[in-house]
Structure 1
């Protein structure tokens, strides 16, 4: 039987990893540079100035107030989120050109605000206004 030297075979089969590491570093630099040019897509919200008076004095306007604990108030009563559409539709039946405003207090969630605005639009409101946060 012939005896082979395994250490000699292992030395001859060695692979040089330096070119592969160079390629990996070049790819890393490429992705870092490309990622710096990407922009995040988001929703731009333009809130009005804080010196706008709430339109509560206008008798023909529909005013919905969202409290800090996400309670929805309309005509001095609490309204369920599911009943906003029907309540607004009832008010619009008498005058379809009424204004519609949402007043939010600090702590009110954006989910509630969007749900109320969607319900109003489904009821037929042409424009939804939301002044700055109430100071009540």
Structure 2
């Protein structure tokens, strides 16, 4: 039995694998980064007034309150079914068939009601549609 005391060697830390991993990460980040490309042309864009131009045709107004009730040009609809809204829009378009549609939905109305309004407008062949908003107050 050999009971002699062995001399312990100090552990050696090799940095080569660590440097390899750092270089691989550097290459990965360089390849995956998207760089913002700025246009080579410098343009001066035209200015326009913020006020809307005169509208020749009075738009059809479809209002949706917070409870989900529909109103076309101030008149309440009997229910909020797509078919009812479509028939109401078709009736409102009889006088002015090329009138645009403005949807004024309360901010608290369910999202489904806005989808119903847009679906009914599509079924009524209304292609000019806008959603009314108010400007956000400056803070």
Give the alignment's TM-score, normalised by structure 1.
0.49
| Greater relative contact order (CA < 8 Å, ≥ 6 in sequence) | 1
Q: Quick check: which one's helix share is greater?
A: 1
